[in-house]
Structure 1
Amino acid sequence: MSGPIVVINPNSNQAVTDGLDRALAPFRLDGGPEIKCVTLAEGPFGVESQVHSDQVVLPLVNLLGQHPDASAFVIACYSDPGIDACRSVSPVPVFGIQESGVLTALSRADRIGIVAISGASEKRHRLYMRRMGISDRIAGERALNITVDESARGSGTFARLQEIGNRLIEDGAEALVLGCAGMALHRAPLEAELGIPVIDPTQAAVTAALGAVLAKRF
């Protein structure tokens, strides 16, 4: 039996972790690995700046060591904080949701749009996409300009997602990536509303983790 896929919320907001847990319910397969969502207690309430992203790196590395039975890890923050450090010490695969979400969207469309949590996030995301070598397939990135907590619990979040999604479609996006783990529960209704693929990056990363774990059985 495979150990759990451990999905780590690097911020300390339990509401975000609870939303991830609900969004990942369909991925808990009979006979498949457990999917365990955990919160990084040492993290900021929301990872909303480069400083926040950098400050969780060592706590994330330490948290990996607390789950020696894990079959894979998912870092559930869109800027993939600490992914290189975590991969350097983990004996099992480590997936980042930005990398996984973008790659999944690119398998569905030629040009994609990114829904950012805030304008402050855009440079961090842009640098990562340049590193991935896929900048020329990004139709645009637009920000909701809300907090991580509002993305998970805000009453006006869905209306704002619709507005930004339509603007990205006008920019030429043929698929969208939700650029924050807190948006997970909005994916399906937003896709139905906009009529194009909408990728929740945590679901994309867990799908990749499931594939890696299940492949080891054969």
Structure 2
Amino acid sequence: MPPVKIMYLNPVADNPEVDRLFADMARAYKLAGTEVHVTALPRADYPFSHIEYRTYEALVTGGIVRAARAAAREGFDAFTIGCFYDTALHDAREISGAMAVTAPCIASCEIAASLANRFAVIVVRSKCNVQMGANIREYGYGDRFSGFYEIGLGVDDLQRDHAETERRLKAAGRRAVDDGAEMIVLGCTMEIGFYKEMEAELGVPVIDSAIASLKRAEYAALLRHQCGWVPSRTGSCEAPTEAEIARFDAFGGSRPVFGSRIVVEAS
């Protein structure tokens, strides 16, 4: 079987430090036969370091859709959108052809529901709860979801004081377990591997959503290669025709699609 190819898109401006974190994660957790391209959006068009606000989400949605279409045309098997809001998930799926598309929230829910009856999600701030809760219910996991637990930090604050971030994550995790959660999902962290420390302290499985989305994309890619299963693009998933896209010049222009790319090769 040829190497499977996955693109992990960080849907904000390229940032060497953040890009490296995701590339290190891919290197540590992918299978040997998997090639991962870690990409980000071009800073000139999308200068955001986070998309905590719906305003920023709306502005980057076009970039995510362009990236998904570009990845599909490059022959990637799967594509993941690196934000727990699952920004533009349905839009990207529609235009992605035979390429599977996933994102951290839906991937974490799928994995958590296969391993426990009740799971909680740790989030940065209470602002996230309404939108993420709506997604979890839409995905069909509302009955398995036991609640959000905030740590009171913005996305940009997570990397400023690792000790304080870890203290808050552990405290939120303890509250969730005390309330009956059987599994914890880390909704927005870039402390790849820290979930193991939380598991040891809390005594329940802890899912890092970045790793979950990578592994769920990899699983979809393997299903394509081994079983021939590809996403449906009929009915509600129907995409615009290529003729119509060309008529509207919907993806025209010379602007770059990606601001950065790190290739983690298959070994």
> Same fold judged by TM-score > 0.5?
yes
Residue aligning to 1:64: 68
In the aligned structure 1, how far is the partner of 2:18 from the partner of 2:152?
17
Q: How does 1:96-175 map to 2 (within 5 A)?
A: 96-155=103-162, 156-175=164-183
- What is aligned with 1:19? 21
Amino acid at match of 2:204: I
Question: CA, structure 1 residues 17+190, in 2 after alignment: closer, same or farther (shift >3 Å)?
Answer: farther
Secondary structure of 2:192's counterpart equals: helix
Structure 2 residue runs of 5 or longer lacking an equivalent are 227-267
Structure 1, gaps ≥5 residues long: none
Q: Secondary structure at the match of 1:94?
A: strand
1:86 matched to which residue of 2? 92
**Residue-by-residue CA offset, 1:48-92 (whole Å, 9 max, x unaligned):** 122222221111111223332322101110010000110010020
**Given the alignment, which residue of 41, 56, 59 partners 1:55?**
59
> How far is 1:13 from its partner?
6.0
Cα distance in 2, alignment partners of residues 207 and 140 from structure 1: 24
- Paired letter, 2:7: V
170, 193, 197: which one aligns with 2:205: 197
Q: Which secondary structure state, in structure 2, belongs to the residue aligned with residue 19 of structure 1? A: helix
Q: What SS is found at the alignment partner of 2:93? A: helix
Q: 1:74 maps to what in 2? A: 80
Conserved in 1, the CA contact under 8 Å of 2:5 and 2:221?
no
**Using a 3 Å threshold, how does the CA distance of structure 1 residues 194 and 152 change in structure 2: closer, same or farther?**
same
Instruction: State whether residues 12 and 45 of structure 1, in contact with CA within 8 Å, keep that contact through their aligned partners in structure 2.
Output: yes
1:214 deviates by 2.0
Q: Percent identity?
A: 26
Query: What RMSD, in angstroms, separates the aligned Cα atoms of the two structures?
Result: 1.8
What CA distance in whole angstroms lies between the structure 2 residues aligned with 1:105 and 1:16? 26
Moved more, 40-49 or 118-127: 40-49
- The SS at the match of 2:39 is strand
Shift of 1:18: 2.4
Q: How far apart, CA to CA, are the structure 2 residues paired with 1:13 and 1:176?
A: 29
Judged with a 3 Å threshold, the aligned counterparts in structure 2 of structure 1 residues 94 and 176 are, in CA distance, closer, same or farther, namely same
What are the Cα deviations for residues 97-139 of structure 1, in whole angstroms up to 9, with x where unaligned? Answer: 1000111111111111100111111111111112122222211
Amino acid aligned to 1:8: L
TM alignment of 1:180-195, pairs within 5 A: 180-195=188-203
Shift of residue 29, structure 1, vs aligned partner: 2.7
Higher relative contact order (CA 8 A, sep 6+): 2
Residue type at the aligned position of 2:18: V
Moved more, 62-71 or 99-108: 62-71
- Cα contact 1:50–1:124 (8 A) shared by 2: no
Tell me which residue corresponds to 1:44: 48
Larger Cα Rg: Structure 1 or Structure 2?
2
